[in-house]
Amino acid sequence: MTDAITVEKFADAKEFEPKIIGFLCNWCCYGGADMAGLGRMQYPTNIRIIRVMCSGRVDPQFILEAFRRGADGVFIGGCHLGDCHYVEGNYRTQRRIIILKEYLRSMNINPERLRLEWVSASEGEKFTRVVKDFVKVLKELGPFNDSS
Amino acid sequence: MNKEEPQKSDKDEPRIGIYICHCGKNIAGTVDSESVAEYAATLPNVVTAKDYLYTCSEPGQNMIRDDIKELGINRVVVAACTPKMHEQTFRKTISDAGLNPYVLEVANIREQCSWCHMKEKENATEKAKDLVRMAISRSRDLVPLERTTIPVDKSALVIGGGIAGIETALDMADAGLKVYLVERETSIGGKMAQLDKTFPTLDCSACILTPKMVNVSRHPDITLLTYSEVKNVDGYVGNFKVTVERKPRYVIEEACTGCGECSFVCPVRVPNEFDMNRGKRAAIYVPFPQAVPLKFTIDPEHCLYFKNKMCTTCKQLCPKNAVDYDQEPEILDLTVGSIVVASGCDTFDATKIPELGYGRYPNVITNMDFERIVNAGGPTEGHILRPSDNKEPKSVAIIQCVGARDEENELYCCRYGCMAAMKQAYLLKEKLGSDTDVYICYIDLRSFGKGYEEFYRKVRNMGVKFIRGQPSEVLQNPDGSLVFNVYNSNIARHMKITVDIVILTLALTPPKGIDELQRILRISRGADGYFLEAHVKLQPAETHTKGIMLAGTCMAPRDITDTVTHAANAAAKAIDLLAPGEVPIEPITAWVDEDICSGCGICWYICPYAAIKIVDVEGHSSAEVVDALCTGCGTCGAACPSNAITHRHYTSNQIMDMVIAALEG
Ligand SMILES: Cc1cc2nc3c(=O)[nH]c(=O)nc-3n(C[C@H](O)[C@H](O)[C@H](O)COP(=O)(O)OP(=O)(O)OC[C@H]3O[C@@H](n4cnc5c(N)ncnc54)[C@H](O)[C@@H]3O)c2cc1C
Ligand code: FES
């Protein structure tokens, strides 16, 4: 990416609000998102959350479909490693996401558009922080279609 | 044979009712609920869309029930608070009106929308519309599911034998459950057994605790496993499989009568942990005379037999021949229906704040040291003496919030320290005479409980000096006395105070071993390090894992009154759960379409619950799910290369519906 493009992107970025699909496991990250609300912690409105029982439920097809339909970023939130409600679901998730990022790269999609975070049910603050950061990163990357 | 998967029939044209809650101003203050309802009404299959002040109220629920009956609604979407709050409430509402509870979908527009976007009303309203559209879309694909029940074991495991564990165990056993109480130490009792008196009534701690400890050991339905630890937990509500390791006491419990002959003749004397290392015990010992069970234990670290096989005095003298140097750890496998965690807390390590001098100056002691010193059964037989020279102190200062309300250590209030300090000030005045100077240096005084404020006034009237301010450093004078400067904001003056003893009121902290316990139980902990309750106000004794409860200070620091209340709550929840003899299980399980399954076995390999079997179906192999073992995580569904697995209630179609709907807007 050349500097000129970056500057141009930056000018655009003011208008651009990335669309994020979030898959959050019921037991940890979804609770963390609830905790953020309960604590009235404020973050941008870009994310649309889909509850799944475990981050291990997130089929790569869901993620690819989200990108295909125009998501600028996909967020997966699970329990910290070792804390998965179903013992080891999040280890599966971790492995899948690593492979999927490789795949995205090979498709010329910036793997930073796919973000995996471990957030416990009490970490409202962390949830807020990572969502804010993800929005920031995506704004810098610009819309999915023209930057990939 | 695989159960037939409920399918959405073509006749089942979705007729959706959607209800947008205002939640007073909680939602409507940010999200324009009315315009969300107007928008929802335009979406396909929506028969009615209403906004309502409090949808969870009785009239709100009646509105939904009436619509189901009058408008023939067959899918209900509620856009309100988190489903963790009221999903069950609304499932009940719609099933009362004749619908299957699983045709409900909740859109979270409070915790995940109005509350976290309070300054962005327009964007929040747009987001709420998206969330509603997503929920409606998913609801079209919802299918009725049948709840099944599984039989439960009417028994419970209690982890930790402090006052919380004791109270829970007795309540549950009295209600007819079979209870296993596992305690890590050689005796039950926890911290309460170490206390002298308890605020605010100054009851003798042992006098109110010991009878309960004895009741535990005598109760026919309680199996007491002391000096034991939980090593593994598998299974699920109603059928937890628990592995307990019993450490060797090197004394045969059944034979030991607790006569104490062995301890008397043992040549070893080491500091007694129970007395905060101030008194001495033998290498074969009970921590305190009222220990339950009253069974002796050999501490192999100090016993001469274990060191060099030189001494066997206790073995020779034991009238019951109870000493057995060759004992091995014993593993017990238990099945229980429910688990109550009552693992308590530790006190803050005062050496982490070196300025206060603990560990360096002998006359700086902790409040737990003081409990032992002032106790008639303690190392000084209840005489309050200055540790450096065993003289009676003329002045004592108590420093509050050591490690608590402190950004570098624990942020929270310990919730017992103010009252414990006042209790100790009272005992100082009472035992040493009213001319003894007693100071309490505090940040804020919190005497919130029943009878607490009255106790504060009593202590103040005794002449205890309350100083609002915290000393930054404690120094020692050559004569062993201690001196510190403190800014007393009550009178806006710097004070220099010299005392014989400084007592540190310690924060309570999550206990050692809590990481291990969390790993075994797979339950969450809060940012403060304590175990996390299912709901801070409404489910304080439950966890997010069905069947696992919390009792006492393992969830948050608190005093005995609150610990006992909490413990009784945990017991009641476990009794409620197990009394019917069966528990409903969520039908959110996996299902394999044997016509598509190639029998590759990937799901069999990754299932953490061994809930998948590979079976032979008319000549080809196929995976099959054992419903009772499946916990519904859906990991197999995500891994299946041929899409043969349906994760009920979180089907790929239902999730895709939401993805697509989210990006349509
Ligand atoms: C100095 C001091 C003075 C106090 N004074 C008062 C007072 O006057 N009035 C009052 O109301 N409160 C007072 N308190 C508070 C009171 O001590 C606590 O509220 C109460 O003891 C908490 O009981 P618990 O059962 O939750 O925890 P604990 O007493 O800590 O008991 C927990 C038990 O669980 C065991 N355990 C821990 N982990 C495991 C494991 N993994 N496996 C098996 N067993 C395990 C421990 O060995 C322990 O026996 C005082 C506290 C202190 C420190
Ligand atoms: S339940 Fe949270 S990652 Fe598995």
B552: pLDDT strictly greater than 90: yes
Contact B566, B555 (CB under 8 A): yes
Q: Do B82 and A43 touch (CB under 8 A)?
A: no
Mean pLDDT along residues A112-137: 97
Q: Which of A40, A41, A86 lies closest to B608 in CB terms?
A: A86
Contact B111, B87 (CB under 8 A): no
Q: Which of B276, B278, B367, B560 to mutate to test the pocket of ligand 1 (most atoms within 8 A of CB)?
A: B560
Give CA separation, B639 vs A135, B219, B315, B523, in Å: 29, 50, 61, 25
B184: pLDDT strictly greater than 70: yes
| Complex-level ipTM | 0.91
Q: Do B524 and A27 touch (CB under 8 A)?
A: yes
More confident residue, A85 or A93: A93
Ligand 1: residues within 6 Å at CB?
A: B 159-165, 182-185, 190-192, 195, 198-199, 229, 342-345, 347, 367-368, 371, 416, 420, 423, 511, 513, 517, 552-553, 558-561, 563
DSSP B202-266: TEEHHHHHHHHHHHHHH-TTEEEE-SEEEEEEEEETTEEEEEEEEPP-SB-TTT-----HHHHH-
Contact B206, B164 (CB under 8 A): no
Q: Which of A25, A34, A87, A91 to mutate to test the pocket of ligand 2 (most atoms within 8 A of CB)?
A: A25
A52: pLDDT strictly greater than 90: yes
Mean pLDDT along residues B279-293: 96
A147: pLDDT strictly greater than 80: no
The CA dihedral of B602, B608, B611, B612, to the nearest 10 degrees, is 10
Q: Give me A24's structure tokens.
A: 């959050």
- Cα A37 to Cα B482: distance, rounded to the nearest angstrom: 48
- Residue B610 has a pLDDT of 83
Q: Give tens-digit pLDDT for B457-476.
A: 999 999 999 999 999 899 99
B568: pLDDT strictly greater than 50: yes
Q: Give tens-digit pLDDT for B299-324.
A: 999 999 999 998 999 999 999 999 99
Tell me the sheet residues that pair with B347: B508
> Which of B109, B524, B536 to substitute to test the interface with A, most A CBs within 10 Å?
B524
Q: Give tens-digit pLDDT for B233-277.
A: 988 889 999 999 999 999 999 999 999 999 999 999 999 999 999
3-state SS of B3-27 is CCCCCCCCCCCCCEEEEEECCCCCC
Report chain A's terminal Cα–Cα distance, integer Å.
12
- Cα B327 to Cα B316: distance, rounded to the nearest angstrom: 17
Chains A and B: how many Cβ contacts under 8 Å?
A: 152
- Residue A14 has a pLDDT of 59
Nearest CA to ligand 2 atom 3: A78
Q: Which residue of A has its CA nearest to B124?
A: A45
Task: Tell me how far the alpha carbon of residue B218 lies from the centroid of ligand 2, in angstroms.
Answer: 42
Q: Which residues of B touch A34 (CB under 8 A)?
A: 82, 84, 108, 111-112
Question: What DSSP designation does B157 have?
Answer: E
- Residue B126 has a pLDDT of 97
State the pLDDT confidence band at B584, using cuts at 50, 70 and 90: confident
- Residue B4 has a pLDDT of 54
Q: Which of A19, A33, A92 lies closest to B635 in CB terms?
A: A92
Q: Return the exposure string of B477-509: e unless at least 16 CB atoms fall within 10 Å of the residue's CB, then b.
A: eeebbbbbebebeeeeeebebebbbbbbbbbbb
Q: Give me B414's structure tokens.
A: 């310990």
Task: Tell me how far the alpha carbon of residue B341 lies from the centroid of ligand 2, in angstroms.
Answer: 22
The CA dihedral of B550, B554, B560, B562, to the nearest 10 degrees, is -50
- Residue A145 has a pLDDT of 77
- Residue A4 has a pLDDT of 45
Q: Which long-range contacts (CB under 8 A, 24 or more apart) does B229-233 make?
A: B229/B182, B229/B184, B230/B157, B230/B159, B230/B182, B230/B517, B230/B520, B231/B331, B231/B520, B232/B520, B233/B339, B233/B520, B233/B521
How many CA within 13 A on the CB side of residue B41?
Answer: 10
User: In 3D, which of B341, B338, B335 has the Cα closest to residue B173?
Assistant: B338
Mean pLDDT along residues B534-549: 90
Task: Tell me how far the alpha carbon of residue B195 lies from the centroid of ligand 1, in angstroms.
Answer: 10
The radius of gyration of chain A's CA atoms, rounded to the nearest angstrom, is: 15
State the pLDDT confidence band at B193, using cuts at 50, 70 and 90: very high
Q: Give me B554's structure tokens.
A: 């393992």
- Cα B239 to Cα B47: distance, rounded to the nearest angstrom: 44
Task: Tell me how far the alpha carbon of residue A27 lies from the centroid of ligand 2, in angstroms.
Answer: 6
pLDDT above 70: percentage of residues in chain B: 98
Q: Give me B545's structure tokens.
A: 């894992």
- Sequence-separated (6 or more) residues with CB below 8 Å from residue B542: B533, B534, B535, B548, B549, B550, B573
**Tokens 């990163």 correspond to what residue?**
A137
Taking every pair of Cα atoms in chain A, the longest distance, rounded to a whole number of angstroms, is 48
Mean pLDDT along residues B508-521: 94
- Residue B11 has a pLDDT of 58
Contact B502, B438 (CB under 8 A): no
H or E element, residue A139: helix A124-141
- Residue B536 has a pLDDT of 85
Contact B394, B436 (CB under 8 A): yes
User: In 3D, which of B140, B135, B178, B129 has the Cα closest to residue B156?
Assistant: B178
- Whether A79 lines ligand 2, by a CB cut-off of 6 Å, is yes
Contact B189, B169 (CB under 8 A): no
- Residue A1 has a pLDDT of 41
Q: Which residues of B touch A37 (CB under 8 A)?
A: 82, 110-116
Contact B552, B163 (CB under 8 A): yes
User: In 3D, which of B141, B78, B132 has the Cα closest to residue B104?
Assistant: B78
B208: pLDDT strictly greater than 50: yes
For the whole model, what pTM was predicted? 0.84
Q: Do B659 and A65 touch (CB under 8 A)?
A: yes
Nearest CA to ligand 1 atom 12: B559
More confident residue, B525 or B661: B661
State the pLDDT confidence band at B609, using cuts at 50, 70 and 90: confident
Q: How far is A5 from chain B (nearest CA, A)?
A: 27
Tell me the sheet residues that pair with B72: none
- Residue B8 has a pLDDT of 56
Enumerate domains of chain B plus CATH numbers: 16-147 (3.40.50), 155-247+331-342+530-582 (3.50.50.60), 261-328 (no CATH), 346-509 (3.50.50.60), 589-647 (3.30.70.20)
User: In 3D, which of B484, B392, B394 has the Cα closest to residue B441?
Assistant: B484
pLDDT above 90: percentage of residues in chain B: 91
Q: Give tens-digit pLDDT for B356-391.
A: 999 999 999 999 999 999 999 999 999 999 999 999
- Residue B5 has a pLDDT of 58
- Residue B526 has a pLDDT of 87
B16: pLDDT strictly greater than 90: yes
> Which of A86, A99, A129 to substitute to test the interface with B, most B CBs within 10 Å?
A86
Q: Which residues of A touch B586 (CB under 8 A)?
A: none
Q: Which residue of B has its CA nearest to A124?
A: B527
**Tokens 């996401």 correspond to what residue?**
A97
- Residue B2 has a pLDDT of 44
B6: pLDDT strictly greater than 70: no
Query: Side chain identity at B547, as an amino acid letter?
Result: G
Q: Tally the residues of chain B.
A: 665
Q: How far is B470 from chain A (nearest CA, A)?
A: 30
Report chain B's terminal Cα–Cα distance, integer Å.
43
More confident residue, A15 or A87: A87
